[in-house]
Every structure is written in structure tokens, then in C-alpha cells.
Structure 1
Amino acid sequence: MIRKPIVAGQFYESDEKKLIQQIEESFSHQKGPGSIPSGQREGSIKGVISPHAGYPFSGPCAAHGFKAIAESEMADLYIILGPSHIGFHKSCFSEDDWETPLGLARTDSDFGLILEENHINLIPMPHKEEHSIEVQVPMLQYACRDKEDKMMFVPVMVAETDYKETAERLQKAISEYVEKGKSIVLIASSDFTHLGANYGFMPFSENVKDNMYKLDKGAIDKILKLNPEGFMEYCEETGATICGKYAIYVMIEVMRSLKASPKLLQYYTSADILGDYSNAVGYASILFS
């Protein structure tokens, strides 16, 4: 089966040439890394946390992480973790290949078997209605365009009900895969704080920009310290509306098991693009190497 795009033409361009231009403008943007990937690959990375808003807003932030992906050794498999904005109650993956304006992104059925053996559910349906993972796929295709025939990925939706179990199960699945001499890069898809009446979250009315930056930087600090429980406690205590917090929890647990070294590449908010803090969303790009 092929999973069709649901936000092409909304979150990103639906035309191939326009989409490539949009992605390259994200790289060259003043809030992006400043240039498109060099075309040279060296070294390896373990993962990135990447935002999933519309490319005109979060694309430059996401480009930081995908530049790191494009300039490091090609992984045998890219695992994209994302939340369910429709509230699906089970963590699950899909074996469907994903269509985007840049072509077909193939999933790895062999790793799918390993996931099933480790009790992560194969349920394609909720993936068909969720944008958080889809928004990462064209960026990943662009980053792997020099070896597009070798690019394989698996989408994993992380649910609130079983995220801790999913972290344990995914770690086991990755260990089995790596023991076979394979390499993996994880991408956790999440925006950070959603602020304003549109999101039902208005914790402060003064110094909004500074306070929003401070709120998100507190969460980012827990991530940089590879502290998954501290991250979740911080979200609970502050009410920080981080939509992919369960995917981030799984990411931190896996990165901690891999002894990864995290680094914040970029952070800004949608209001820094639009100039309006009445409603704003935070975006962060975090590299694990």
C-alpha cells in the first residue's frame, strides 16, 4: 500500500520543483544553517529533534538538523517518531510506502518485523491522518537525494498511553538491528510550546517573547541533559504545550542508551517570523551525535 500525502499544498509545496526551491530556501534562510548541504558526507550522527509546522515557519529550523543528516554518513534506516494530533491511543508503526511530491519514500519491512516481535503495533490507519511524520519526509528525501535509491525509513507514532513501554521496546528493536551491522538515525518530530488563545495556553501576558523562550529553554535543558523523566516532569509542572513530548521522551531514552551527545542547533518561534506573539509556536532543532 502507498500512504498519500495529506498536507502537501498546505504545510509544504505540492509541486516537485517548487518544493525543492522551498526546501533550499529553508537552508539559506537567515534562521536556517545558511547554505544548502555540501554534498560531502563524513562522520555519523544518531538523531535529531525536528519541528513539524509549515515550511515557511519551521522549515529553516528543521533545515539545521537535516543539513547534519545530509552531511553525515547515510544510515541504513531512518526512524521517524511523531505524536498523534488526532489522539490515537496506541503507539504504532506503518509498513506503507509514503508518497510525496519528491517521489516514493520506502519503508523497511525487515525492521517492521523486528518491531512486531518487540510488541510495537502495526497499525497503518492513524498514520494516514497524521501530519507530524509526513512533514519530515520531504526534508529527509532531500537530505538523502544523493543516495535516494538506498533511503529506507519507518514511521512510528508514539501515544500517551504506552510511551514508556514503547521506549523500552524500541531500544530492544534497535539493538537487534544494530547487532546485524546496520546503522540507524532517529528523527523525533515535535514543535515546542504552543502559546495563545488559539491553543488555550496563556500563562503570561507581559514579556511574552522572553517568557516563552525561557519556558522552552527549560524543556530543552532537560533534553540536553538526557533526562527523560525530568523532561516529562517539567512539562507537567509548567504546562508547556509540547505536542510531541511523548516522542521526545522515547528519543531521549534511546539516545541515552546509545550514549549520544546532544547539541541545540537552533531555536526560535513562529512569532519571530510573523511578528505576532498573540499566538505563537516554538521550534527547536537538536542534534544527537
Structure 2
Amino acid sequence: MFCNFSESLRDFSDRRAMQRDCSHRQLDVVVARSCGICYPNDPSACLDYLRNYLGEEPWPRTSGNHGTRKVLGILAPHIDLRVSQRAYREAYRWLWQSDPADLYIILGVGHRARLEWSLDLRDYLTPLGRVQADREMARKLLSVLDVPLLEPKAHEEEHSIEFPLVLLQAARFWRGVGKPFRFLPILCSGLFSAVAQGSPPEERNPMYRLAAQLQKLLQEVPFSVQLVVSIDGCHVGPRFGHPFVVTPSVRAEIQRWEETLWETVRRVDAPEFFAHLGRNGNACYFDGVGALALVMEIFGKEAEFIRTYYEQWFEPRDQSLVTFSSGVWLDPKN
């Protein structure tokens, strides 16, 4: 996974310049854009930063029987890495405990996507090297679903894919895992029509066939797969167009609203999940709607969801906040 650091930095710098100067052309690789801002772009500095960031001992604290059960996937934020080290640590510590996967399916948020569900076939280049996209798996999805899913432009500058990849690279380096891993990036929408109706998407929505194929992949492939659900929560206040500032009472109300939403995810109750969102039209701008709807379809009752951490990032300068959570999906059988 990791080439010589000087080669990695040179390749990364060259690619970044190409993407800057030739943005009208599609390159064979997506280049990380947040490095140098949210984390160092020098490979050695990046590794040191993320090692300290993840803590000296990033292994999960065993609680009850959680520590010995198979990790199927994690819930992680994609907020700026500088905002909450603890939220990221609480999410990714579950992957530090489990055996390294061969493939990570990353369910991100399509902040710039036009499609409800979008894939990309390109590899990803960070300061820590190149991560190979699982083009075979992506092409299988494309052939079976037979609907427009490719949207390369939406995957450029998409931090909900970038942050999981660089964290996975760093963690595997510090654990001494030299075997490369692959990734399958899927950007998910807010399913606005379903939210407006207060009910799950219609049967013709590609979500159901996509979930069925991903479920089949998880069950049948001869290699290990884990999901990373890379989402944030509510976005509230003047920064996001609300005509009010966030006061302590607003913060408490948001937390209550979100607790109810997360309980529907824990119960795998998609009808109530959308009904709850529909009652206020998702006025809190919760951005993980599509990703959570998809993961509920993928796992169904075959996974136990545990939310382990919640935080509200409040910015006094504009009296606005963003929420995010961490958690894990565990195999209930082992």
C-alpha cells in the first residue's frame, strides 16, 4: 500500500497539480483535496499526525460481549478532522480491533451529486499512497442495476470518501498491515421525495436492488468486507439558512429529535425513520438519510446497531451547530 515516501509525495504532488491544471479532463485517479488543510500533505507528518490523532491505544475497550463480536461496519463522522478527534476515535476503534478487511464499502454523502446513488471507478491518491478501487465489484453493480450510477465529478473533493481512506491507510500502517486494501465508494442522497412523503422510497427506487446486490456481495465473496458509513448529523443555524440562532433550548430539542431518529435505525424501522424525518421535512438538515436507509436495507435484522458517541459542534461566531455520531454494526450471531 505504501510506496517509498519520497515517491509517494512526488506522485501525489504531480497528480494534484494535474488535477488543478486539467480539471476539465478525467484522470485515472481521484486526488485528495483536504490534505494540507485538515491534515498534513507530507507522508511522514501525516502518519505522525494521525497516529497521535487516533490516540496511543486505539483499541476498543471491551464492554459486555461487544469486544468479541464480528464487526460488520462502523458509523463515522466526516466532519473536518480538526473538529473532533474523539468522534473519529470512537468510530474507527472498532476497525482497529477486528481483522483488517480486504474491501471497504464506503457509504458517503453526495454533497455535489446529482444522482441519488453514485459510483466511481477510479483509484484514490492520498499523501499515504494510492488506494485501488474495486472496479470489478463496481462494474457488477452497474451491470445488474442497469440505471445511471456513474458520476465521477461528484466524487472529486468529496471528503466523506477521502477521510475514511486516509484514516484506514494510517491505521493499517501503524498496525503493520502491509497488504493493500480496496474500496468501493457509494455516494448517497438525501432521498428528498421519500422524506417529503414521510415514507420509504417506492419499490422502483434503485436503492432496493443496490442493497440486495451489496448484501449478496457481503455473503458470497471469498474475501473480507466491512462497511464504513461516513455521515454527519444535523446542520442547524444561520450558517445553514435557518432564521434563528442556536440556543441551549434549541440544542436540547435537536438532541431529542435525533435520539428518536437513531432509535428507528437501531430497530431497523425504515417506515418510522422516514415518518420521523417527514414530520418536519428534515428541517434539521440531517445529511445521512440515504446512507442509513441503504444500510438498513443491506443488514436488516442481521446486524445489531450500537451508537457509542454523540457530539454537537457549536460555533459561537455564527451561533450554528453540526452534530455527528459514532457507532458500530455487530453480527448478532458471533
TM-score range, shorter chain: 0.7 to 0.9
| Structure 2 residue 251 is the aligned partner of structure 1 residue 209 | yes
| Structure 2 residue 285 is the aligned partner of structure 1 residue 241 | yes
1:136 Cα offset (Å): 1.6
1:196 corresponds to which of 233, 237, 247? 237
Q: Partner letter of residue 57 of structure 2?
A: S
2:298 corresponds to which of 225, 229, 254? 254
CA RMSD of aligned residues (A): 2.7
Change (3 A) 1:111 1:69: same
After superposing on structure 2, the runs of 4+ consecutive aligned residues of structure 1 that deviate more than 4 Å are 160-164, 202-206, 274-277
Identify unmatched segments of 5+ residues in structure 2.
1-27, 61-66, 194-200
CA distance, structure 2, for counterparts of residue 16 and residue 228 of structure 1: 42
| Partner in structure 1 of residue 112 of structure 2 | 86
1:155 corresponds to which of 162, 185, 198? 185
Change (3 A) 1:147 1:43: farther
1:277 Cα offset (Å): 8.1
| Partner in structure 2 of residue 124 of structure 1 | 152
CA distance, structure 1, for counterparts of residue 182 and residue 329 of structure 2: 20
CA distance, structure 2, for counterparts of residue 242 and residue 51 of structure 1: 12
**What is the correspondence of 1:1-150 to structure 2 with a 5 Å cutoff?**
1-28=28-55, 35-37=57-59, 44-119=70-145, 121-145=149-173, 146-150=176-180
1:225 corresponds to which of 239, 243, 267? 267
Q: 1:187-246 deviations in whole A, cap 9, x for unaligned?
A: 111110111100123486452332232222222212222223322322222323111211
CA distance, structure 1, for counterparts of residue 266 and residue 220 of structure 2: 27
CA distance, structure 2, for counterparts of residue 240 and residue 285 of structure 1: 19
Percent identity, aligned pairs only? 20
CA distance, structure 2, for counterparts of residue 21 and residue 219 of structure 1: 37
Change (3 A) 1:233 1:123: same
* Aligned length, in residue pairs: 279
CA contact (8 A) 1:118 1:170 kept: no
Q: Partner letter of residue 54 of structure 1?
A: D
CA distance, structure 1, for counterparts of residue 94 and residue 269 of structure 2: 23
Change (3 A) 1:58 1:166: farther
1:269 Cα offset (Å): 1.5
CA contact (8 A) 1:49 1:284 kept: yes
CA distance, structure 2, for counterparts of residue 260 and residue 190 of structure 1: 19
Compute the TM-score of the two structures, normalised by the length of structure 1: 0.85
1:177 Cα offset (Å): 5.3
CA distance, structure 2, for counterparts of residue 144 and residue 167 of structure 1: 33
CA contact (8 A) 2:268 2:296 kept: yes
Question: Quick check: 104-113 or 232-241, which moved more?
Answer: 232-241
| Partner in structure 1 of residue 213 of structure 2 | 172
Largest Rg, 1 or 2 = 2
CA contact (8 A) 1:178 1:184 kept: no
CA distance, structure 1, for counterparts of residue 208 and residue 317 of structure 2: 37
